[in-house]
Chains A and B, each alone.
Chain A
Amino acid sequence: MQLITRHNRTWAAVLLVLTALVCVLLAQQFLSMRVEEPIYPGPGVTEQRMLSDWFPGIKDTAADTPVYVLQGEQPGNSMLVLGGTHPNEPAGQLSAVLLIENAQLSVGTLYVIPRTNNSAFTTTDPQEGAPMRFTIDTPNGERWFRFGSRATNPVHQWPDPEIYVHASSGQRLSGSETRNINRSYPGRPDGTLTEKASYAIAEMIRKENIDITIDLHEASPEYPTINAVVAHEDAMELASWALLNMQMEGMDIMLEPSPKNLHGLTHRELGDFTDTYAVLMETANASQGRLRGRTNEALVVEGKDKFYVRAAQYGRLYVPFDENGHPLNERVARHVTGILQFAQAYNDLGLGAIAIDNMPTFTQINENGVGAYLNAPGE
């Protein structure tokens, strides 16, 4: 079908003006994702630093990100919690925020990074139809959080290569994985923005002698490594002990060894290139799965999806999935419980001392909701 006119230049001018208007409107939407959600540190936070303090190469870049330090009254060992490695896996970020706003250390030091891939929070993944934000009800009103992308924003690191070659191992992956921070460890000081970010984290672990590193993730219900802990071989004993403790608290959770031939992940590379006990935790997130229905805020927060219920009935999933779904409350409860049990296991095994107090239990988070433990604005 054609519409031929003699006034083509006029039409072109009109369309260009409309294009400019659309660009302005869209730009407002996209740039709004660069506004950071507020976090209100609790009394346990003794210091707030930036990741660039340990590697100045990321200063004034999108990779720089806040690090919250909770130092205990008594000296002891240390733990690092990485939330927001993949910002489309919100339980990781929210669990980190819960620690920042509630935890108090009596022994040792806790480092928390709520937005590990800070750049990835500024965009969503293309063609996923994901919401930009979600809200959590709290007794003091709504708190909002961004729902970001799995990878660094392409406007911060572009173009992607055809093939991504992992620097230290030579492993070859799809070019888009160059922006996945969890394929970039241990990083490089002169690498891409994503590699610099992971290098900064590795430097922080080495310089602070961080004893345990826990990377918080989520996965789609059809993914086999789910409701699981993946542990580096050096951390296997610690992880086993922690898992038993979690099971005694009513959590059904599996243990997987970190594969030696898959490179770039925290549980492999941080275990190999630093002295930290490196583990990763996964929970079930329907909003990032391939079988999901409408991707909206409700799916992110409530975790209910009728298509996943049907898939579960067909035996196609690796987690149980019924009409109750897997709400964010349950997922955050699992992560928080895991973190606390890792600290407890570390003590029980006589490896060192770290004591994290004032955190809600698995049952409390499930029953009262995450919002009950988020601080009021300005608190």
Chain B
Amino acid sequence: MLYVYLVLVALLIVNIVWNMLREKDVFVQVDAALVLVPLILRLLLIK
């Protein structure tokens, strides 16, 4: 189950980055960057 959740997190990260690149509102891009932080740390099993 752990690997299933890690794959889900990875997909979420890819999705957020993809949308960040296409987003035109900088404030929304900042929100996306903030959301990425805990997801990356969880993908790497740091926090």
Are A and B in contact, CB atoms below 8 Å, in the complex? yes
Which one of B1, B20, B45 contacts A12 once the chains associate, using CB atoms below 8 Å? B20
Query: Nearest-CB distance from B43 to chain A (Å)?
Result: 10
B17 touches A16 (CB 8 A): yes
Which parts of B1-47 form the interface with A (CB within 8 Å)? 1-2, 5, 17, 20-27, 29-30, 32-33, 36-37, 40-42, 44-47
Query: Nearest-CB distance from B18 to chain A (Å)?
Result: 10
Q: Which of A23-31, A107-115, A180-188 contacts B (4 or more CB under 8 A)?
A: A23-31
A8 touches B41 (CB 8 A): no
A3 touches B42 (CB 8 A): no
User: Which A residue sits closest to B19, measured CB to CB?
Assistant: A12
B22 touches A16 (CB 8 A): no
Counted as pairs of residues, one from A and one from B, with CB atoms less than 8 Å apart, the total is: 66
B30 touches A15 (CB 8 A): yes
Q: Does A276 contact B (CB under 8 A)?
A: no
Q: Which residues does chain A contribute within 8 Å of B32, judged by CB atoms?
A: 15
Q: Report the Cα distance A30→B22, complex, angstroms.
A: 32
User: Which B residue sits closest to A161, measured CB to CB?
Assistant: B1
Q: Which residues does chain A contribute within 8 Å of B45, judged by CB atoms?
A: 155
B29 touches A26 (CB 8 A): no
Q: Report the Cα distance A60→B5, complex, angstroms.
A: 23
Which one of B17, B25, B36 contacts A2 once the chains associate, using CB atoms below 8 Å? B25
Supposing A8-B21, A9-B21, A12-B23 touch, asked if A158 and B5 sit within 8 A by C-beta, the answer is yes
Query: Nearest-CB distance from A191 to chain B (Å)?
Result: 14
Which one of A5, A11, A19, A123 contacts B40 once the chains associate, using CB atoms below 8 Å? A19
B46 touches A30 (CB 8 A): yes
B17 touches A159 (CB 8 A): no
Query: Nearest-CB distance from B2 to chain A (Å)?
Result: 6
Which one of B2, B20, B27, B47 contacts A16 once the chains associate, using CB atoms below 8 Å? B20
Q: Report the Cα distance A9→B23, complex, angstroms.
A: 8
B5 touches A12 (CB 8 A): no
A interface: dominant SS: helix
Which one of A9, A19, A123 contacts B37 once the chains associate, using CB atoms below 8 Å? A19
Which one of B17, B22, B46 contacts A8 once the chains associate, using CB atoms below 8 Å? B22
Q: Which residues does chain A contribute within 8 Å of B26, judged by CB atoms?
A: 3-5, 8, 11
Query: Nearest-CB distance from A75 to chain B (Å)?
Result: 45
Q: Does A35 contact B (CB under 8 A)?
A: no
Which one of A11, A15, A123 contacts B47 once the chains associate, using CB atoms below 8 Å? A123
Q: Which residues does chain A contribute within 8 Å of B17, judged by CB atoms?
A: 12, 16
A12 touches B47 (CB 8 A): no
B22 touches A2 (CB 8 A): no
Q: Report the Cα distance A139→B45, complex, angstroms.
A: 39
Supposing A16-B33, A19-B33 touch, asked if A27 and B22 sit within 8 A by C-beta, the answer is no
B33 touches A5 (CB 8 A): no
Q: Report the Cα distance A254→B17, complex, angstroms.
A: 57
Q: Which residues does chain B contribute within 8 Å of A31, judged by CB atoms?
A: 46
Supposing A3-B25, A8-B26, A155-B42 touch, asked if A30 and B47 sit within 8 A by C-beta, the answer is yes
Q: Does A1 contact B (CB under 8 A)?
A: yes
Q: Can you list 18 contacts pairing A with B, beta carbon distance less than 8 Å?
A: A3-B27, A4-B26, A5-B26, A8-B23, A8-B29, A15-B30, A15-B33, A16-B20, A18-B33, A19-B37, A22-B37, A23-B37, A26-B37, A26-B47, A27-B41, A30-B46, A123-B47, A159-B2
Chain B interface residues toward A at CB < 8 A: 1-2, 5, 17, 20-27, 29-30, 32-33, 36-37, 40-42, 44-47
* Additional pairs, 9, CB under 8 Å, beyond known A19-B40, A27-B41: A1-B27, A2-B27, A3-B25, A3-B26, A8-B29, A9-B21, A27-B44, A27-B46, A27-B47
* A-B pairs, 5 with minimum CB distance: A15-B33, A3-B26, A155-B45, A30-B47, A12-B20
